Structure 1
């Protein structure tokens, strides 16, 4: 510990320095993400990770500089961390777990900003990854704050990881008295006539099972963006697929 006395003035300067470095960190993150990395055409996920890490590094340096200003050197901080470890043992495990999980997410990138994910039965798009929690905007435009530990310790579906294409399955039941060849042809036309459906891979129609009173069939189509699947599913189910189902029931 330094022998420099801690005064009200030094405490105020300490707080001003801390606030300054936090502000610099936020400014650097925004400038790096919106200007610098954007010029190099870095993808949004990588850009977000690099800018966040830069912000945390600046804040960490600011904390160390601020502590040194009031006379607390690095060796003295080990005592503080030792006391914090005792507090962690008495009830801060959850906060620590989320903090470490946030670092894992930023460095390993199992999820990135913009990804469509399913966690805790919640489906939505990742809009922000913070050091404690991640914000997910659901398909109903509701923002859910999910603890980072949930993305590390639980099963998470990432629809967008590495590839945004998605296979959409539409189930259709037709009666046994229907002309099966016409049904297969009509379902294939449903896919071919929808501009949102990819031509490669090609759409397929399969008989899944023989039900009690119908052939249970499935139209499998590929779409380029998984985030569009609710809209395209609705188009297929409420449009031509429903029409086919009514004709051959």
Structure 2
């Protein structure tokens, strides 16, 4: 094959690639423009992921908390990806003004069908900006408690203490009641209720409970535990102890240890834990 034949083959390939496949808003779309647009989009997507990692690393090195750095990194990724999509459409010759008008018309038609998706996406953006929850927070939603491990564009992943991953639509964090135990920091107060028999030495009961709470691993020394005489119950004198803990994830074990130790100390001090009793009298 001589040089002339090679040139002729290249011309045929160029003609084929330059052939109009279809028209979009008066712009002729060719195979070359499609391939070029696809390459630009793939490059923009890769650049968006790279920028997310770089921004996350730079912000993390400055000592900001993980939730803040993750939110800024995700917003950077969405911004770069949006710019890439705009450049891709412009490369294909799509008129952005016409596309905006078309999008407004189509938005009305498909809005109902994509209502939930759009709602979750917008809710995800609100979560990233307002940060009612952030990665690492311990939250309770619909009676389920877990730690937030990822906030995506459509949904948020929560992992429970049973190592079960729950995928929650972002809109639920905006519309439903959410208990965020980490919102004001990683310190929270817990209460343990205790009942003792009538006739017990209440001062001694208080001393025993305070001693146990102060010596339980995981309970903070400051603020110090507090014991309250809550009420005169039907079958018991009702006490409660308020303790502060910073290990929210293992709070269940901390409270369990307090109950175990209180029961053990009560047996040593002969303090009785009563059970409900009823006295029935039968008249002759």
User: Which TM-score tier does this pair reach, normalised by the shorter chain?
Assistant: over 0.9
Of the three residues 41, 54, 67, the one matched with 2:63 is 41
**Residue 262 of structure 2 aligns with which residue?**
241
**Residue 89 of structure 1 aligns with which residue?**
111
How is 1:46-65 mapped onto 2 (pairs within 5 angstroms)? 46-65=68-87
In the alignment, structure 2 segments of 5+ residues that lack a partner are 1-23, 273-284
The separation in 1 between residues aligned to 2:127 and 2:63, in whole angstroms, is 22
Q: TM-score scaled to structure 1, two decimals?
A: 0.93
Range that drifts further, 76-85 or 19-28: 76-85
Instruction: Tell which structure's C-alpha radius of gyration is larger.
Output: 2
Decide whether the 8 Å contact of 1:111 with 1:161 is kept in 2. Answer: yes
The separation in 2 between residues aligned to 1:205 and 1:211, in whole angstroms, is 17
Deviation of 1:226 after TM superposition, in Å, equals: 2.3
Range that drifts further, 1-10 or 216-225: 1-10
Shift of the 127–3 alpha-carbon distance from structure 1 to 2, 3 Å rule, reads same
Range that drifts further, 23-32 or 123-132: 23-32
The separation in 1 between residues aligned to 2:155 and 2:194, in whole angstroms, is 41
Counterpart check, 1:176 vs 2:198: yes
Aligned residue for 1:187, secondary structure, equals helix
Decide whether the 8 Å contact of 2:218 with 2:247 is kept in 1. Answer: no
In the alignment, structure 1 segments of 5+ residues that lack a partner are none
**Residue 20 of structure 1 aligns with which residue?**
43
- The answer to which structure, 1 or 2, has the higher relative contact order (CA under 8 A, 6+ apart) is 1
The separation in 2 between residues aligned to 1:125 and 1:115, in whole angstroms, is 6
**Residue 116 of structure 1 aligns with which residue?**
138
Deviation of 1:61 after TM superposition, in Å, equals: 0.3
Deviation of 1:54 after TM superposition, in Å, equals: 0.4
**Residue 155 of structure 2 aligns with which residue?**
133
The separation in 2 between residues aligned to 1:244 and 1:146, in whole angstroms, is 44
- Report Cα offsets for 1:198-221 as digits up to 9, x if no partner: 122121111222222111211111
The separation in 2 between residues aligned to 1:18 and 1:86, in whole angstroms, is 27
CA RMSD in angstroms, aligned pairs only? 1.7
Aligned length: 247
Counterpart check, 1:228 vs 2:250: yes
Aligned residue for 2:166, secondary structure, equals strand
The separation in 1 between residues aligned to 2:157 and 2:174, in whole angstroms, is 15
Decide whether the 8 Å contact of 1:174 with 1:245 is kept in 2. Answer: no
Range that drifts further, 197-206 or 8-17: 8-17
